[in-house]
Amino acid sequence: MSDDLKSPARRTLFKAFGAATAAGAAASLLPGCGKSEKGAKENLGFAEIPHTLDDQHHVPEDYRADVLLRWGDPIVAGATPFDPQTLTAAEQERRFGYNNDFIAFMPLNGQAGPGEGERHCKSRNSERGLLCVNHEYTQPHLMFSGYSDEYSATRGVSAAHVAVEQAACGHAIVEIEKTAAGWQPVLDSPYNRRITLNTAMDIVGPAAGDSRLQTAADPSGTRVFGTVGNCAGGKTPWGTVLIAEEGFGGAFQGDPDDIADPIESVNHHTFDIAPDNRNWGDHDRRFDIAVEPHEPNRFGWMVEYDPYDPNSIPRKLTNLGRFEHEGFTLVSKPNQPIVAYGGDDDEHQFVYRYVSREKYRPGDYARNRDLLTEGTLYAGQFNEDGSGRWLPLIFGEGPLTGANGFRNQADVLIDARRAATLLGATPMDRPEDVETNPVNDCTYVMLTKNKKRNAEDLNAANPRPRNVMGHVLEIVPPGAYGRRDHASDTFKWNTFLLGGNPNAENPHERGAYGQQAPGTISAHGWFANPDNVAFDPRGNMWVATDGCESFGFHDGLWAMATEGELRAAPKHFFGCPQGAEVCGPEFTPDGRTLFVAVQHPASGGASTFDNPMHRWPDNDPALPPRPSVLAIYRRDGGEVGS
Ligand code: FEO
Ligand code: CA
Ligand code: CA
């Protein structure tokens, strides 16, 4: 979600679309993670696209981008064509949801069946699979006729519309296959499924059942309905999908100052629960904290589910902490602990790492499925000298005791932000995706922006005051190239890239916002506001942005090498239609298809359902703009980007 949703005026929309900043990527001049500074080869051979801003999406010559799934498209056989004017909650539950974000492509193996996720994943089938897509949040003024602006659709939304919104949030699982005509949904697939705000889920891990998770509807504190604010996520090698709960506070209304328990009051303030948030609580009372003050504690977790078992019950994993989760991505090596990295996407919040207690054993699903419920969460400390430490969030250790209001490990996890602050973790410039390059085995942190960063609170890892452009850090765990020890409690880090325009005419702007890449960056190679990231099979980094419209051009994708002479020298590959950000870049295992999620097209200004900025992707006067997933291919069938 973008920055706009983070501002008090717009948090009612969750954190959805970003305010943009520009980033010309500044490349690190340090040795970095690479094997050597020589030997870089130009393996990103596409013809770069320009910075533009219009009502279209853009890909390079020799590529095509097909619209694969749009908000309202049926995901079951026999459904009628989409009609937003008559959409009901029951209909929405049979259709692709709103504001697509994270995408996981989970291969299907014709020899494996339901519940055999690891066998499916190992097939690396790149022509048939399950597309697993987050639906982060809703925008009623763009979904329904009759709302005059964003605010009227937020505070005055009807009960029927709230029901549709709750059915349009969450997640979708859709089987897709690659045909001669391109990728197509398989509507009669037994795997197709929607997860919504009314899907029953278990709460597992150390905080499950704690008194702070208990409500009138669920005295056990272990069963919750639904997930919301589903931003990015991750995948496990045992075939499950992780989905993050990010801007959940915007789903709740009420005044935290009216909550008697001071720890709970501060907790609710931390997540921007406020009286003028969207009015879901008027119609679904659990979203009013005056009625159910513990319900927000049942959100803000990572959720795991098995897409290969359509009857599987999703689980909220309390061991990964509670905050505004951007996502968690795994480093999984046979017979070593699972390591997962994630970010808390808010100003001055932290980068986290998790290490499982037991080791990952390929093929042993019964043991592997507990790897994310038994282990230790850590917060990152980035020191001035380029070293770093992971600080464990363990009740009873250091400041995490009753003296600071922690009763038990459940409190440490529910109030992970407070725990990490007390431990001395480094406050960052809004950590978004944190993902490991499978080729060089280094980990990259997208820091999207932080306008609240003052000159007085700079640190080496967050070096710019009023950081409107964002930047990217590189974490280098100890060990050899490609075989690093991610479970180590120490690491080195580098600045990989500072967003901004290296050629800005104003030298001050250049100094404040420009990149310092060692290679040549074209006029269209710079960007701002890194958000999601993916790596292609050759180890190139693909950065998705959220906020470039603030600098006059569309959000999109920029690809770059992570080492060698062209380290951190971005090339522009994809551009969104105006008002949109791009999320969830995801390659098929063969690298020949790139899926992207275009979120909140035509958002901003006075754009509404009745009078939208544009009507991408259909350009049909009967249809509003529709968040959509695109499948991008090279026309000759080759690897994307090569
Ligand atoms: Fe939903 Fe952090 O972007
Ligand atoms: Ca975003
Ligand atoms: Ca994001």
Any ligand 1 atom below 6 A from CB of 306: no
Sign of CA dihedral 342, 346, 347, 349: negative
Number of the ligand 1 atom closest to the C-alpha atom of 15 = 1
Any ligand 1 atom below 6 A from CB of 581: no
Any ligand 1 atom below 6 A from CB of 555: no
Any ligand 1 atom below 6 A from CB of 476: no
pLDDT(401) > 50: yes
Task: Compute the average pLDDT of residues 446-454.
Answer: 96
What is the C-alpha to C-alpha distance for residues 602 and 69, in angstroms, rounded to an integer?
Answer: 17
Token pair 């501060």 in the structure block, residue = 266
Picking from 160, 391, 98, the residue whose alpha carbon sits closest to that of residue 284 is 160
Q: Give the Å distance between the CA of 191 and the centre of ligand 2.
A: 28
Per DSSP, the three-state class of 420 is helix
Q: What is the SS3 assignment for 4-62?
A: HHHCCCCHHHCCCCCCCCCCCCCCCCCCCCCCCCCCCCCCCCCCCCCCCCCCCCECCCC
User: Is residue 153 very low, low, confident or very high in pLDDT (cuts 50, 70, 90)?
Assistant: confident
Task: Compute the average pLDDT of residues 48-73.
Answer: 97
Per DSSP, the three-state class of 266 is helix
- Residue 383's beta-bridge partner residues? none
Residue 545 in contact with residue 581, Cβ under 8 Å? Answer: yes
Provide the pLDDT for residue 509: 61
pLDDT(20) > 60: no
User: Is residue 213 very low, low, confident or very high in pLDDT (cuts 50, 70, 90)?
Assistant: very high
Any ligand 1 atom below 6 A from CB of 326: yes
Q: Give the Å distance between the CA of 474 and the centre of ligand 3.
A: 18
Any ligand 1 atom below 6 A from CB of 345: yes
Give, using CA atoms, the residue closest to atom 3 of ligand 1.
1
> DSSP character for 399?
T
E-assigned strands of 465-551?
471-476, 479-480, 483-484, 490-498, 530-535, 541-545
Average confidence score pLDDT of the chain: 92
> DSSP character for 79?
P
pLDDT(12) > 80: no
Token pair 């600098």 in the structure block, residue = 551
The ligand with the least distance to the CA atom of 533 is 3
Number of the ligand 1 atom closest to the C-alpha atom of 448 = 2
pLDDT(11) > 80: no
Q: Give the Å distance between the CA of 310 and the centre of ligand 3.
A: 26
pLDDT(25) > 50: no
pLDDT(630) > 50: yes
What is the C-alpha to C-alpha distance for residues 371 and 285, in angstroms, rounded to an integer?
Answer: 35
Q: Give the Å distance between the CA of 479 and the centre of ligand 1.
A: 32
pLDDT(97) > 50: yes
pLDDT(5) > 90: no
Q: Give the Å distance between the CA of 16 and the centre of ligand 2.
A: 6
Any ligand 1 atom below 6 A from CB of 15: yes
- pLDDT digit string, tens, across residues 468-491: 999 999 999 999 988 999 999 999
Task: Compute the average pLDDT of residues 82-86.
Answer: 96
Provide the pLDDT for residue 352: 98
Task: Compute the average pLDDT of residues 238-256.
Answer: 97
Q: Give the Å distance between the CA of 565 and the centre of ligand 1.
A: 31
Any ligand 1 atom below 6 A from CB of 55: no
Token pair 């969450």 in the structure block, residue = 170
- pLDDT digit string, tens, across residues 601-619: 999 999 999 999 999 999 9
Q: Give the Å distance between the CA of 375 and the centre of ligand 3.
A: 26
Any ligand 1 atom below 6 A from CB of 600: no
What is the C-alpha to C-alpha distance for residues 361 and 373, in angstroms, rounded to an integer?
Answer: 16
pLDDT(188) > 90: yes
Q: Kindly state the percentage of the chain with pLDDT values over 90.
A: 84
Q: Give the Å distance between the CA of 24 and the centre of ligand 1.
A: 20
What b/e readout covers 414-446, taking b as 16+ CB neighbours within 10 angstroms? bbbbbbbbbbebbbbbbbbbbbbbebbbbbbbb
pLDDT(172) > 60: yes
Q: Give the Å distance between the CA of 353 and the centre of ligand 3.
A: 18
User: Is residue 252 very low, low, confident or very high in pLDDT (cuts 50, 70, 90)?
Assistant: very high
User: Is residue 38 very low, low, confident or very high in pLDDT (cuts 50, 70, 90)?
Assistant: very low
Q: Give the Å distance between the CA of 499 and the centre of ligand 3.
A: 16
- pLDDT digit string, tens, across residues 521-579: 778 999 999 999 999 999 999 999 999 999 999 999 999 999 988 889 899 999 999 99
Orientation of helix 416-423 relative to helix 262-270, angle to 10°:
90
Any ligand 1 atom below 6 A from CB of 246: yes
**Letter for the amino acid at 79?**
A
pLDDT(185) > 80: yes
Number of the ligand 1 atom closest to the C-alpha atom of 345 = 2
**Letter for the amino acid at 135?**
H
Q: Kindly state the percentage of the chain with pLDDT values over 70.
A: 91
Provide the pLDDT for residue 10: 39
Q: Give the Å distance between the CA of 244 and the centre of ligand 3.
A: 10
What phi, psi does 493 have (nearest 5°)? -140, 155
The ligand with the least distance to the CA atom of 430 is 1
Number of the ligand 1 atom closest to the C-alpha atom of 324 = 2
- pLDDT digit string, tens, across residues 317-370: 999 999 999 999 999 999 999 999 999 999 999 999 999 999 999 999 889 999
Listed in sequence order, the DSSP H helices in 357-487 are: 365-368, 409-414, 416-423
Give, using CA atoms, the residue closest to atom 1 of ligand 1.
1
Any ligand 1 atom below 6 A from CB of 434: no
Any ligand 1 atom below 6 A from CB of 1: yes
Q: Give the Å distance between the CA of 616 and the centre of ligand 2.
A: 19
Any ligand 1 atom below 6 A from CB of 432: yes
